[in-house]
Amino acid sequence: MRQILYVSTSTIPGDGADLSGILNQSRHNNAVDGISGLLWSDGRHFLQVFEGPEESVAGTLARIERDLRHENMVLLQDRQIEAREFGGWSMVHRRANEPVDAYDMQVRRLLSRASKPIEAHFLALIATGEIAA
């Protein structure tokens, strides 16, 4: 199995990205392709990890690279894994009026089986708005 982690910048200002549409489309595509993972957005950045069979991951990556809703995509990790770290597809997004503590707990729960490098990237971006080195 292959796992990809990337970060990108939204091309849609503010909180205007159609995250519900992205989630619905992702759930459909990922169910068909056997992909699982986590997509996080703060309205400015997207940080996503996804995993699955090699061919499905390659196709998903190509589709994501063509998506005009983001730019400046940086591949942070591309590795082979023995077992899934994300058993189901999830997307996390905190709107400005939602409590930070509940959001942080949800992200930590979703990252509970993730490798330390994956967890570090997500938690650094959440805490500081910057990707971990």
Domain containing 57 equals: 2-128
Q: According to the model, what pLDDT value does residue 53 have?
A: 96
With respect to residue 133, please indicate whether it lies within any of the assigned structural domains.
no
Check residue 13 and give its pLDDT. Answer: 67
pLDDT tens, position by position, 66-81 = 998 889 999 999 999 9
Burial (CB < 10 A; 0-12, 13-18, 19+), residue 38, is buried
pTM: 0.84
Number of structural domains (the chain) is 1
From residue 118, alpha-carbon distances to 27, 40, 57, 77, 104 in Å are: 21, 12, 17, 8, 15
Q: Looking at residue 119, which CATH number applies to its domain?
A: 3.30.70.100
Does residue 119 belong to any structural domain of this protein?
Answer: yes
63 located within any domain? yes
